[in-house]
Amino acid sequence: MLTLIQPDDWHLHLRDGLPMKDVLHHTASRFGRAIVMPNLRPPVAKVADALAYRRRILDALPAGSGFEPLMTLYLTDNTSPEEIFLAKRSGFVHAVKYYPAGATTNSDSGVTDISICHDALEAMSECGMPLLVHGEVTDPLVDVFDREKVFIERVLSPMKRRHGKLKIVFEHITTKDAVDFVNENGIGATITAHHLLMNRNALFSGGLRPHHYCLPVLKRECHRRALMEAAISGNPKFFLGTDSAPHSRSSKESSCGCAGIYTSHAAIEFYAEAFEEAGALDALEAFASFNGADFYGLPRNEKKIALVREEWVVPESYPFGDETLVPLRAGGRMAWKVAEE
């Protein structure tokens, strides 16, 4: 048995409505809190939108759940400093998310040029509001496997120089380049379980695997190893963020499938597996339960959860509104399981 202070998920997609209710309990049964992504249609771009979305999440929680959604705003070309200050005063908006326009699912309303957002970023620097960065360029001339590296060169490095006090989280990092940038610049970074467990070969194992397709896309084995080394390093700037992204089976298994991997059904179990494979289970608690809370200036959870070494089989699918979704490792075996209370 492995006992941990209850972890938090610092990067989560919940969607909305009935589909949200079908997946929310997976996160709520494992995590104390989660940073909830704002890329709905329409996006959660105003504090009033975030408040309404938060209420819908709380209403959808299982009875007796103590799970706390931590809300975010969607940065646009028109986000004003006033909205940033209002978000900070709200007490329930904890960050602002930067999607380069067209970078991933529901990012059409994202930022076309980060220099347009100078005033909003200055306001965030002033009040201590973190900026969560989807770190990929959308230039069609840039190879999809190089988009994170080029983002560092073209966008993130200049941003860090110009806005030195800005609190930045480099979301779902996938490359050694990103690991090195975090180590050298002291910004925060989330790492997903699927990027720790798989390299890009998983996209083509025995055929095209749409349920292994995410953005940023899986990378080479050398990058996976660099992520694993960062996660177990003890550097408090690296912390857990699943980027669990539920999509219906039909939207994944199509001629132009959506990017996103669903891992919330076994999120902390996947991380335990990755850390065990690295011989570093003793490093899991800090990565999963301490580092993110400390970075955001929030108290660490007091409740504990237990993981047991017990094999179980992942269901082939889960309900998702009027459809179903296919989780990571559907029909496959897990070595760890959250103990029932």
Per residue in 146-188, pLDDT (tens digit) is 999 999 999 999 999 999 999 999 999 999 999 999 999 999 9
DSSP 296-317: HT-PPP--EEEEEEEEEE--S-
Instruction: Inform me whether the pLDDT recorded for 107 exceeds 70.
Output: no
Helix, strand or coil for residue 238? strand
Q: What's the whole-number average pLDDT of the chain?
A: 97
Calculate ∠ Cα 266-211-340, nearest 5°.
10
* Half-sphere exposure in the Cβ direction for 218 (13 Å, CA): 22
Cα–Cα distance, 240 to 270 (Å, whole number): 11
The mean pLDDT of 279-284, rounded to a whole number, is 98
User: Which residues span the domain enclosing 260?
Assistant: 2-338
Residue 243 among the catalytic residues:
yes
Going by pLDDT thresholds of 50, 70 and 90, the confidence category of residue 103 is: confident
Q: How far apart are CA 167 and CA 125, in angstroms?
A: 7
C-alpha 206/C-alpha 193 separation (Å) is 22
The count of C-alpha atoms lying within 13 angstroms of the C-alpha of 279, restricted to the half-sphere facing its C-beta, is 0
List of residues 6+ apart from 121 with CB closer than 8 A: 114, 131, 159, 163, 166
What local confidence, expressed as pLDDT, does residue 7 receive?
A: 98
What share of the chain has pLDDT > 70, as a percent? 99
Over residues 292-319, the mean pLDDT reads 98
Radius of gyration for the alpha carbons in the chain, expressed in angstroms and rounded: 19
* Mean pLDDT of the 130-159 span: 97
* Confidence class for position 102, pLDDT limits 50, 70, 90: confident
> What CATH number has the domain bearing residue 152?
3.20.20.140
Compute the half-sphere exposure of residue 26: CA atoms within 13 Å on the CB side of its CA.
25
Q: How many other CB atoms are there within 10 angstroms of residue 141's CB atom?
A: 6
Least confident of 99-108, 184-193, 303-312: 99-108
Please report, rounded to a whole number, the percentage of residues in the chain having pLDDT higher than 90: 96
Given 243, 282, 294, 322, which residue is catalytic? 243
Q: How far apart are CA 323 and CA 28, in angstroms?
A: 21
Q: Mean pLDDT over residues 297-315, rounded?
A: 98
341, pLDDT greater than 90: no
Residue 54 is predicted with a pLDDT of: 98
DSSP codes of every residue in 163-201: -TT--EEETT--SHHHHHHHHHH--EEEE-HHHHH--GG
Grade residue 106 by pLDDT with cuts at 50, 70 and 90: low
Q: pLDDT of 36-45, one tens digit each?
A: 999 999 999 9
Has residue 104 got a pLDDT over 90?
A: no
As for how many domains the chain has, the answer is 1
Under the banding of pLDDT at 50, 70 and 90, the label for residue 236 is very high
